[in-house]
A and B are shown apart, each in its own frame.
Chain A
Amino acid sequence: MQFGIFSVGDVTPDPTTGRTPSEAERIRAMVAIAEHAEQAGLDVFATGEHHNPPFVPSSPTTMLGYIAARTERLILSTATTLITTNDPVKIAEDFAMLQHLAGGRVDLMMGRGNTGPVYPWFGKDIRDGIPLAIENYHLLHRLWREDVVDWEGKHRTPLQSFTSTPRPLDGVPPFVWHGSIRSPEIAEQAAYYGDGFFANNIFWPKEHFQRLIGLYRRRFEHYGHGTADQAIVGLGGQVFMRRNSQDAVREFRPYFDNAPVYGHGPSLEEFTAETPLTVGTPEQVIEKTLTFRDSFGDYQRQLFLVDHAGLPLKTVLEQIDMLGEEVVPVLRKEFAALRPAHVPETAPTHASLVAAKAAAEAGAAEAGTEAVR
């Protein structure tokens, strides 16, 4: 299992002090969070992509390239990369470049984006969200696998004899996740390609995501990528921890009550009962996270949201320390003990994809030799 942090990159006033960080501070804080995640023994840092205030991460590969130079092991990812409003050609180039610079420590998560005005700013229309995600990804998938591409579609100018450079590192494209909160089409898309499916379950009850993930697993098997329980599933989580559960609740409540997504709505207690949010001790986080497996089956990646709603950097880094020291080591052990041997332990990494490619080529050469004999 891979564990990590995902950040929306919001600039939000701290409701307890009224202070709003500058963009510069927030960008530096995201880098510090990523570096800290590696130091704490986590596996993944994923940044959001946004093109409107109050969010800072408009240029994910710039940020991830910088983090790549300051880390050794950390997998750099996105949550999400906008497959609708970005040109798939530019995604192919940017992430292949990042892959080379980061020595393969890169994967990415496709998402559509739900902010209507962003689409026309990039010459698109939100009503085409699903068709854009389908067509653009189909092109991206080809650009990383075919050296020369001739292509024609509805949503971008045609390509004749186009080669996306640099070619993917070692001839192996980065692993791709498709993120969705509610669209069956995206679960179907992930299943078709045998890609990963990330259900960002943090703001909604589990019953909905059981259906969405169930669909992905069923169709993954239908398209011949393995059995349903071998499909590559990622989940979110949202935590705030202190040694003592009441201290955690007391400290987090003002952030919860004023949070941009759910603030001024349900109480912290109601939201905790309905969603993955856990405010309490590391033991409570372990307990809640283990229930995700009961609900959705064995899964391969767990990303935690810890840095939103105006929480100060110092507090966020303390959360990452607790995850690294107390939560993740236990979860690794528990999940590993429960996982059957035929289910992948983690999402494919660059190393595993290179090995799989070599094995496939050796198999093909063997078959060729057989045929000649």
Chain B
Amino acid sequence: MSTLAVVSAGLGQPSSTRLLADRLAEAASGALRSGGADVAVETVELRDHAHAMVDAALTGFPAGAFRAAVETVAGADGLIAVTPVFNASYSGLFKTFFDVVEPGALEGTPVLLGATGGTARHSLAIDFAMRPLFAYLRAAAVPTAVYAASEDWGSTGSGLADRIARAGGELAAMIAGRPAAAKDDPYDDPVPFEDLLAGR
């Protein structure tokens, strides 16, 4: 069983960011299932955790339902991360979430990036803002990212459905081709003191 975490930073209800996130999740899980895999999709709406995220930034630990959300994302086999573009970049809520996730938690995790905006003129925010963030987190972003402008939802010629299908396929292929995650746990398996003393 693979788990696919979906993080949506949309603010409106209903939200076009969530709409895109759901379409991407459908495409990726569909591709995984057609390859014979069993998939569970877990969606985290950041708006639901807005206060808890600021609290976690101030106290250093995620509490309550937000802790479960963070654990879902950190433990997932793949991640779909979608944000609205605000003022030429990802939203503050989106960044705050990835600021409070433990360092190293997304190391090697396949990630599909998505963004939404009023016009197509902001589509490069994915490449100049989102990709560097996930590169820093050492996550593995798939080549195709999907940007959906308002006009894309009302036209057939914009290729949105094709982009979603291609991106979902790429994420599914990366998850399927990735060896089972085995992360070292320093609390279960500490560095022996002789090594610490020898500076190893």
Contacts and interface: CB of A to CB of B under 8 A. Distances in A.
A187 B57 CA distance: 25
Interface of B: 54-55, 57-61, 63-64, 67, 186-188, 190-193, 196-197, 199
Contacts, number: 66
A188 B191 contact: yes
A184 B59 contact: no
Main secondary structure of the interface of A (DSSP, over half): helix
A84 interface: no
Given A134-B197, A185-B196, A188-B196, A271 B59 contact: yes
A45 to B, nearest CB: 27
A273 B52 CA distance: 14
B59 A266 contact: yes
B59 A265 contact: yes
Interface residues of A, number: 33
17 contacts: A138-B197, A154-B199, A184-B187, A184-B191, A185-B196, A188-B190, A188-B191, A188-B192, A188-B193, A188-B196, A189-B196, A192-B193, A204-B59, A219-B190, A270-B64, A271-B59, A273-B63
Interface stretch (A73-81, A208-216, A303-311, A363-371): A208-216
B100 to A, nearest CB: 12
A215 B63 contact: no
Nearest to B61: A204
B59 A189 contact: no
Interface of A: 130-131, 134-135, 138, 154, 184-185, 187-189, 191-192, 203-205, 208, 211-212, 214-215, 219, 223, 261-266, 270-271, 273-274
Contacts of B188: 215
Nearest to A208: B61
A154 B199 CA distance: 10
Nearest to B63: A274
A141 to B, nearest CB: 11
Nearest 7 A-B pairs (CB), nearest first? Answer: A265-B58, A192-B193, A266-B55, A211-B187, A184-B186, A265-B55, A188-B190
Given A130-B196, A138-B197, A154-B199, A185 B191 contact: yes
Contacts of B191: 184-185, 188
Contacts of A191: 193
B187 A215 contact: yes
A270 B192 contact: no
Contacts of B192: 188
Given A204-B59, A211-B187, A223-B193, 7 more contacts: A130-B196, A131-B199, A185-B191, A188-B192, A205-B67, A208-B61, A215-B190
